[in-house]
Structure 1
C-alpha cells in the first residue's frame, strides 16, 4: 500500500502531558511502556519527519476535563470514571496541554479536531469531516493509548507491555489495512 502525498495525513491522538510527560496524572501507569518503546523520541521524530515531507497532522484530542463532565452519563466507561476522579487533561492545566514538541502548528496547516469523550477520535467529533474536507484518503494513527485510541503504528504506548503487544499483534491486524513501524510508514509516503 502506498500513501500518496496530498491525500495522506497523520492523526495524532492525545499527546497530552497527563499521559506522556513526567509529572502527568496518568504517566506513572504508562511510564514503563513509554520508556520501553522510546515513545517520546519516536513521536518527535515522526512529527518532524511528517512535517518535513509536507504531510498534514490532524490532532484527535480527548475531552479536556471540566467540572460536571460525565455527571449525567448513564453508562460511564472505566476511563470516564478514571478521568473524572483524576480530573485528567483538565482544561487550563499543564496536564491538559499537548507536550511541547508535539504541539500543533496551526500556521503550518495542522488541524485540531473537536474533542472526543470516548476512546474513538471519530465518534461525535468532526475528525472525519476535517479529513474529508482536506482530501485525505489515507491515514496513519499515532499517540495514546494503544488498546483504546490507536490503530496501526508503533508510535504508541499502553498501560502494560502485554496490552501493547496484544494490540499490535492481535487487535490491529483485525481492522487495520497494515501494521507498520513509523520508519516503514515514512518510507511509503510518496
Structure 2
C-alpha cells in the first residue's frame, strides 16, 4: 500500500462519542470497553491523534451520539438493540456527567460539533456531511467509540458519500477483541481506504513525522 498523505485543508478527524460514559472511570459503558481500551492504549492514542491534528492544522470534528432524555425511543416502532440498552442504562444522559465530553476532549473555538446522531452513523439525520462539505473536507479519519458500531457505520456512510476514509486501529475500542478483529480485518477493508495504527497516522500527518 502506498503511504497515505493528508492535506490539512482537506482532512478532518472525526472524534466519535467522546463521552465520560464511554471513556472515564465511573462511566456507565466504561466497564464494557475497559479491557480492550486499556489493551490498545485508547485514551493516550486519542490524545495523540487529536493533539497532532490540531498542531498540523487538520480540522477536528466532534460526532456525538444522542444524549438520552426521558421518553427517548419508548414510542418508536423499531428501536435497535443499542437503543433498547440506552433506554435501560440511560447512557450519555443529557445534563449529567456521563453525557459530557471527557475533559481531555473538549471542542475548541471554531471546531465543529455535529448534530447528535440517533443510531450508529454520524451522517444519518445530522448536519455532518454539510459541515464537512462547507469546510472543503475530502478525507476523514475516524477515531472514538465503538469500532464495530458507530465508527464502522460512520465510515461506511462516508465512503458512500465519496470521502476518503481512514480507520485507526488503536484509537478506538469495542466490547470484545473479536469485535475489533471484525471491524479492522474483515469489515474495514470493504470500505476504508486506509487502516492505520496511531503511530502510522502520526507519521502521515503534515509536520508530524518526528512525533511518531
Q: TM-score, normalised by structure 1?
A: 0.96
Question: What is the distance in 2 between the residues matched to 1:183 and 1:50?
Answer: 13
Alignment partner of 1:50 is 2:53 = yes
**What's the counterpart of residue 205 of structure 2?**
189
Q: How does 1:63-102 map to 2 (within 5 A)?
A: 63-102=66-105
Question: What is the distance in 2 between the residues matched to 1:17 and 1:146?
Answer: 17
**What's the counterpart of residue 173 of structure 2?**
157
**What's the counterpart of residue 7 of structure 1?**
10
- The Cα of 1:71 is off from its aligned counterpart by 1.5
Question: What is the distance in 1 between the residues matched to 2:130 and 2:74?
Answer: 28
Residues 61, 113 of structure 2: 8 Å contact kept: yes
Question: What is the distance in 2 between the residues matched to 1:80 and 1:138?
Answer: 30
- The Cα of 1:153 is off from its aligned counterpart by 1.2
Alignment partner of 1:20 is 2:23 = yes
After TM superposition, where is structure 1 displaced by more than 3 Å over at least 4 residues in a row? Answer: none
Question: What is the distance in 1 between the residues matched to 2:176 and 2:136?
Answer: 36
Alignment partner of 1:115 is 2:116 = yes
Gaps of 5+ in 2: 153-166, 207-212
Question: What is the distance in 2 between the residues matched to 1:102 and 1:182?
Answer: 17
Q: TM-score, normalised by structure 2?
A: 0.86
2:92 counterpart SS class: coil
- The Cα of 1:184 is off from its aligned counterpart by 1.5
- The Cα of 1:20 is off from its aligned counterpart by 1.1
- The Cα of 1:57 is off from its aligned counterpart by 0.5
Question: What is the distance in 2 between the residues matched to 1:158 and 1:45?
Answer: 19
2:148 counterpart SS class: coil
Question: What is the distance in 1 between the residues matched to 2:81 and 2:91?
Answer: 13
Residues 8, 59 of structure 2: 8 Å contact kept: no
- The Cα of 1:149 is off from its aligned counterpart by 1.1
- The Cα of 1:188 is off from its aligned counterpart by 2.1
Alignment coverage as a number of residue pairs: 188
1:103 counterpart SS class: coil
1:149 counterpart SS class: helix
1:29 counterpart SS class: helix
Deviations 1:40-81 (CA, angstroms, capped at 9, x unpaired): 111011111111111110111000001111112111111000
**What's the counterpart of residue 185 of structure 2?**
169
